[in-house]
Amino acid sequence: MSEDAHFEPINSIIGENASFHGDFEIEGPLRIDGRFSGTIISRSKVIVGAKGLVTTNIQARNVVIAGRVEGNIYAFGTVHLTDKAVVLGDIVSSNLLMDEGVIFEGRASIKKMDSIDNFYKSYR
């Protein structure tokens, strides 16, 4: 199933010319097109756009990366690295999709998560 199969409106956006540092905890989707450093915890989807630069660990239900992430990614569901993605860190998820052209330096662990609540407690 594609990431667009279930449209969910984006709650929060860090725009292309914006920079944010801190801890971001959100229930809904987050899109990052600018620079972000700190911590991201989302009970929904995190999208790093093509011009996004993220220096943090990401914990979310699903993650789509088109830009650059320097940190670990933990997803209850799917991590999708698009063709221009650069990820320097480890990935733990139930499902990993990588397009041709991805740069990924780290370890990937694909495993079925037992429950969403345990997932969020385990990777804090």
How many domains would you assign to the chain?
Answer: 1
pTM of the complete model: 0.89
**What's the first-to-final CA gap in the chain, in angstroms?**
28
Residue 94 inside a domain? The answer is yes
- Which residues, at least 6 apart from 93, have a Cβ–Cβ distance to it below 8 Å? 63, 73, 74, 75, 76, 77, 78, 79, 108, 109, 110
Residue 1 inside a domain? The answer is no
Distances (CA, A) of 98 to 76, 87, 95: 17, 11, 10
Residue 73 inside a domain? The answer is yes
Residue 81 inside a domain? The answer is yes
The pLDDT of residue 4: 45
Residue 44 inside a domain? The answer is yes
Residue 66 inside a domain? The answer is yes
Domain region containing 55: 12-122
Mean pLDDT by 10 residues, the chain (124 residues): 56 90 92 95 96 96 98 96 97 96 97 84 76
* Alpha helices (runs of H) in the chain, residue ranges in sequence order: 116-122
The answer to whether 25 touches 11, Cβ cutoff 8 Å, is: no
The pLDDT of residue 53: 97
* CA-based torsion, 20, 88, 79, 122: positive or negative: negative
The pLDDT of residue 123: 74
